[in-house]
Chains A and B, each alone.
Chain A
Amino acid sequence: DAGITQSPRHKVTETGTPVTLRCHQTENHRYMYWYRQDPGHGLRLIHYSYGVKDTDKGEVSDGYSVSRSKTEDFLLTLESATSSQTSVYFCAISESWGPNYGYTFGSGTRLTVV
């Protein structure tokens, strides 16, 4: 979607290597989220951010870390990639934390760990 981009779109990496995925937004939204999408599991929250340098864990955060040094960028790092982290990763942004606001999603990053 216009206003949110993810990079890279596709990546193949080897087990044990660190990997960083980038989410960039131009909407100046405060809230940003990283989800992973796996067959049979829907979308599961990895980490989220509610402001610059303010981040917290989601339900599947083990093996992942995040950083947000600027409003527009939210980085997801796999510290030492494993085959179980092969997935499609989506970044989402939201204007506010209120329950009335939905998400705008990026186009996703397909990560394969071999």
Chain B
Amino acid sequence: GNSVTQMEGPVTLSEEAFLTINCTYTATGYPSLFWYVQYPGEGLQLLLKATKADDKGSNKGFEATYRKETTSFHLEKGSVQVSDSAVYFCALSEGGNAGKSTFGDGTTLTVKP
């Protein structure tokens, strides 16, 4: 079956530091990959996505590249802000599966001023 593994948190960074959150996946086919962000007390929001190998998704200064050879989709940001403090989820979805997504366990990021 499909699975998503994220680096364990929590991750604590100082403002303006570089962020990497690792994500690797196992899938039977050719999935699309997603990063979602969850702010305290809220639902998840789609942050970025990539639909095929070597695609780069980007949004709000975050980016992630779909690496088929290493089955990875690591999230990066060059300079984090306090407002980036949240829980980040990596997910995959395969076509023909009623759109069902498989999620990682989430990584909590805290950014300190």
- Since A94-B99, A99-B99 are in contact, a sample of 17 more A-B pairs with Cβ atoms closer than 8 Å, ordered by chain A residue number, is A31-B99, A33-B99, A33-B100, A42-B103, A42-B105, A43-B44, A43-B89, A45-B101, A97-B98, A98-B95, A99-B32, A99-B94, A102-B34, A102-B49, A102-B101, A103-B101, A107-B43
In the bound assembly, the distance between CA atoms of A15 and B91 in angstroms comes to 33
How many residues of chain A are within 8 Å of chain B by beta carbon?
Answer: 30
Chain A residue nearest in CB terms to B94: A99
User: Which residues of chain B in 8-61 are interfacial with respect to chain A, using CB atoms and an 8 Å cutoff?
Assistant: 30-32, 34, 36, 41-46, 49, 51
CB distance from A1 to the nearest CB of B (A): 7
User: Which 9 pairs of residues, A with B, have the shortest CB-CB distance?
Assistant: A105-B43, A97-B99, A99-B32, A99-B95, A42-B105, A102-B46, A43-B103, A42-B103, A105-B44
In the bound assembly, the distance between CA atoms of A103 and B38 in angstroms comes to 13
User: Which residues of chain A in 14-32 are interfacial with respect to chain B, using CB atoms and an 8 Å cutoff?
Assistant: 31
B96 near A: Cβ within 8 Å? yes
Chain B residue contacts of A94, Cβ below 8 A:
99
Number of A-B contacts defined by CB within 8 Å:
74
Interface string of A41-69 (1 = CB under 8 A from B): 11111001010000010100000000000
Chain B residue contacts of A102, Cβ below 8 A:
34, 36, 46, 49, 93, 101
Chain A residue contacts of B96, Cβ below 8 A:
97
In the bound assembly, the distance between CA atoms of A51 and B9 in angstroms comes to 37
- Contacting residue for A45 out of B4, B46, B89, B100, CB 8 A: B100
Task: State whether A103 and B98 are in contact (beta carbons under 8 Å apart), knowing that A42-B89, A42-B105, A43-B103 are contacts in the complex.
Answer: no
21 intermolecular pairs with C-beta atoms under 8 Å apart: A31-B98, A35-B103, A41-B105, A42-B4, A42-B103, A42-B106, A43-B89, A50-B98, A56-B98, A90-B43, A92-B44, A98-B99, A99-B30, A101-B99, A102-B46, A103-B44, A103-B46, A104-B46, A105-B43, A107-B41, A107-B43
